[in-house]
Amino acid sequence: MSLSKLGEFALIDRFKRLIKLDKTVFKGTGDDCAVLKFDRKHYQLLTSDMIVEGVDFTSGTNPYLVGRKAIAVSVSDIAACGGIPGHCLVSLAMPRQTKLEFVDNLFRGMREVAEKYGINIVGGDLSRSRQLTIDVSMLGLVKKKELVLRSGARAGDFIFLTGPLGGSFKSGHHLKFTPRIKESRYLAENFNLHSMVDISDGLIADLGHILERSQKGAVIYEELIPKNKYALSLKDALYSGEDFELLFTLPQDAARRLLKKQKGMRFFLIGQIISGPKKILLVDVKRRCRELETKGFRHF
């Protein structure tokens, strides 16, 4: 069987069945970060992201933006768990003929994002390859009481987004996005979040991750979905991905309080978690309801 037939997440599940974890691991595969035991008040977060030429960017992409994205995607993962990033390793694989100016600009993008969020780049690895590939492993910390996973959504929770969706590739947002650390910290410190995920594979796919882990369903409303001005359609906003906004759920009393106290940030209410099967229902502008196919970006 080929990987294209098996699929990305089935491959992850296949690996997961073979992995044995010891008591130092609080949560392993299945969230934006692995969660490791650290001290009495904190967990350590660990995430890894790889970006590859021809998949995540093109050979003609500004190297500064490529380097920026390489760090930013891992910062977004840390934010999705309510944490603060701290240290990272960067591994680069590049063709031998790569120009030094290109590498300098690549690293400039990495360094600027790292400095903005107080991240130490503490090492990594170099290798030769036919195309540029960057792999970043990042550590963060989160207070135990502020940890947010995908598995805590409850029936009755309201579903929110931190920003509009769609048109990410057309606008260049997939290279220039701002990881939602500020929003994550505000939410984790002031509200009882039940679940959270960052939107990299698309709204429906990533909401599907929450529903799968939480064993719940959801209803969302077309008229409430915030669309970026570059979004080509509702479908683009629902499925395209690479938005790197946060999708989160919280109980109704907390949702009402959030809507009153947004502190200069914008949070968009788009629907509600429901009990029952793990499906997503869309109510359109004519109040018609239909079930959406849970799909999004897949590597295989």
Say if 17 falls within a structural domain: no
Q: Which of 101, 119, 145 lies at the terminal end of a domain, its last residue?
A: 145
Tell me the pLDDT band of 216, cut-offs 50, 70 and 90.
very high
**What is the predicted pLDDT for the residue at 49?**
96
Tell me the pLDDT band of 264, cut-offs 50, 70 and 90.
confident
Q: Which of 84, 111, 145 lies at the terminal end of a domain, its last residue?
A: 145
Q: What average pLDDT does the segment 180-198 reach? A: 97
pLDDT at residue 295 tops 80: no
Say if 32 falls within a structural domain: yes
Kindly report the pTM of this predicted structure. 0.92
What token pair was written down for 188?
């984790």
Cα–Cα dist 274/67, whole Å: 40
The CATH number of whichever domain residue 183 belongs to comes to 3.90.650.10
DSSP-derived 3-state class of residue 153? coil
**What is the predicted pLDDT for the residue at 19?**
76
Q: Do 127 and 170 fall into the same domain? A: no
Backbone angles phi, psi at 100, to 5 degrees: -60, -35
Sign of the torsion angle spanned by Cα atoms 161, 58, 297, 11 = negative
Q: Which domain holds residue 253?
A: 149-292
Q: What average pLDDT does the segment 219-242 reach? A: 95
Q: Do 266 and 173 fall into the same domain? A: yes
What is the Rg, in whole angstroms, of the alpha carbon atoms belonging to the chain?
19
Q: What average pLDDT does the segment 91-99 reach? A: 96
The CATH number of whichever domain residue 101 belongs to comes to 3.30.1330.10
- Span 114-167, pLDDT tens digits: 999 999 999 999 999 999 999 999 999 999 999 999 999 999 999 999 999 999
Q: Which of 145, 171, 192 lies at the terminal end of a domain, its last residue?
A: 145
User: How many structural domains does the chain have?
Assistant: 2
**What is the predicted pLDDT for the residue at 299?**
47
Q: Is the Cβ–Cβ distance between 118 and 75 less than 8 Å?
A: no
